[in-house]
Amino acid sequence: MEELLRQHIGMATHINNLSENNPEAAGRDKMIHTQLNSTQRAELADFQGVNRSLYSEINPLHLPEVLSLVGQHHGQGELYVALRSSIAGVISTVIKKQCLHPNKEHITGP
Amino acid sequence: MLPFLQNANHLQVLDLCNNSIQSEGLNLMFRALRNSPIKMLNCKGCGIETIEIDSDHIPKYLTDLDLKDNKINADGCRGLANALHQGDTTLSTLWLQNNRIDDEGVEILVDVLQNNTSLVNLDLREKNDISNQGKISLLKLVNDISSITATLQSNHTLAYIAVGKEFYVYMIRMMWKSCSDSISVWLPISII
């Protein structure tokens, strides 16, 4: 546990070091490398006593962009995990009537 | 020595390590150095326990303060918090290894470092009595995962926090050197 704690401290300070004088970049990198990585987040959440999902905080309209970042930085395995956690939010952005309307026209004809 | 320090208009480095100046000496010295251009002050092994510094009495240009091998405890950390609390503080390196800092002392430092944008290096290694709870506080300081806002508002200035074994710090430094252009190198480290 102690070793893992030091590794996480080391990772965060390493990001600070790379983003010298640019707090916005450091914050963004911490979001990508810890909040958007399920393994890293689970370890950090365990240490810090956090037990709620990250995706409950995100406006569903921003989810496609967030999921794109997950895929870009952590690969398809992580993207699958992220989709599983956020799928309800993603689907809530779909306007069902508009989706169904063209299909209805296609079936019944003009 | 105080009259000399008060008039030392070109003094930038002062090394007083292994002298017995103790807490009172340090506090007097800080007052005397307030308007000097001093940047580095070494008070290693000087028997310092508590620090009573008003924010008005901190040397204006001090960047590097070495207080290792002293007896600084939670009360001493309160004094240091004053030095780190100022909006225009210049202190960027603070050596505190081998003191008597416990979790309470860490909490005091963490509280003040939430809003500090000058301190880059903080060394708390060796005989300090910091438990895993103290380390969790340090972790939350640099990466609070409780919410997106908390992560974005974490301390983004501290680039080096040393706590615990010396070997680990060595390992991190080596990795910084060899992989300084890549963050992804850290991802596999958690698996080791």
pLDDT digits (tens, 9 = 90+) for A31-56: 999 999 999 999 999 999 998 888 88
- Domains, chain B, in order of start with CATH, read 2-167 (3.80.10.10)
Out of A14, A30, A58, the one facing B151 most closely (by C-beta) is A30
Range of lowest pLDDT (B56-70, B75-89, B165-179): B165-179
Cβ contacts of A60 within 8 Å, gap of 6 or more: A89, A90, A92, A93
Say whether B180 and A18 touch across the interface (CB within 8 A): yes
ipTM exceeding the 0.95 mark: no
Model pTM score: 0.83
Range of lowest pLDDT (A15-19, A105-109, B120-124): A105-109
Say whether A58 and B156 touch across the interface (CB within 8 A): no
| Alpha-carbon distances of B189 from A7, A42, A53, A56, B174, rounded to whole Å | 8, 16, 24, 29, 13
* Predicted confidence band of residue B167 (pLDDT cuts 50, 70, 90): very low
Structure token digits, residue B51 = 């620090």
CA A66 to chain CA centroid, Å, is 5
Predicted local distance difference test score (pLDDT) of residue A103: 63
Chain A residues touching chain B at CB-CB below 8 Å: 1-20, 23, 26-27, 29-31, 33-35, 37, 39-41, 43-45, 47-48, 50, 54, 57-58
Q: What is the DSSP string of chain A?
A: -HHHHHHHHHHHHHHHHHTTT-HHHHHHHHIIIIIT-HHHHHHHHHHHT--S-GGGSS-GGGHHHHHHHHHHHHHHHHHHHHHHHHHHHHHHTS-HHHHHHHHHHHHH--
CA A4 to chain CA centroid, Å, is 23
Residue-wise pLDDT for B96-147, tens only, equals 999 999 999 999 999 999 989 999 999 998 877 889 999 999 999 999 999 9
User: B15 in helix, strand or coil?
Assistant: strand
* Structural domain spans, chain A: 1-51, 58-110
Residue-wise pLDDT for B19-71, tens only, equals 888 988 888 888 888 888 999 999 999 999 888 877 677 888 899 999 999 99
Predicted local distance difference test score (pLDDT) of residue B16: 87
Predicted local distance difference test score (pLDDT) of residue A45: 94
More confident of the two residues B53 and B184 = B53
pLDDT exceeds cutoff 50 at B182 = no
Using CA coordinates, name the residue in chain A closest to B164: A6
Say whether B157 and A16 touch across the interface (CB within 8 A): yes
Whether the CB-CB separation of A48 and A9 falls below 8 Å is answered with no
More confident of the two residues B51 and B152 = B152
